[in-house]
Amino acid sequence: MRLSYAALHCVSHYSFLKGASSPHDLVQQAKALGYHALAITDECSISGVVRAHMAAKEAGIKLIIGAAFTLADAPEIDRLILLAQSRTGYGNLCEFITHARRAASKGSYRLRLDDLSMPLEECLAIILPHRHAKAST
């Protein structure tokens, strides 16, 4: 039995100074590696998903739409990753991104733990702890 693999956190060059490859190249590499699916999770953005969608459709792999975030008041959390599970989740993710962008000056965003009370139904959340965070006992 062959197991399926899906990368759930991948940034494209739409995450300025964080990702280097185009969404198309990321999808092609995922296909070459035999991935079943790929999540494009750019920094507070879904800018790369249109190109990724076209490439994934052509490559025959599933595209998962998501975004990655940093929370201003949660130093123990390195990244919050939200993945849309449906059209409802996609809409909620877009509203969350808009909220974060409107809370800061142009070109940046601001999120706090309190912002997680926004409706995020049909979104899967992945929390990546900061490498140096101490585990509670």
What is the average pLDDT score of the chain? 88
Q: How far apart are CA 136 and CA 89, in angstroms?
A: 31
8 Å CB contact between 63 and 40: yes
Residue 134's pLDDT band (cuts 50, 70, 90): low
pLDDT digits (tens, 9 = 90+) for 55-84: 999 999 999 999 999 999 888 888 999 999
pLDDT digits (tens, 9 = 90+) for 38-59: 999 999 999 888 899 999 999 9
Q: What percent of the chain has pLDDT over 70?
A: 91
Pairing outcome for strands 6-10 and 37-43: parallel
Sheet strands (E) in the chain? 6-10, 37-43, 62-69, 77-84, 123-129
| Residue 94 DSSP code | H
Residues in the chain: 137
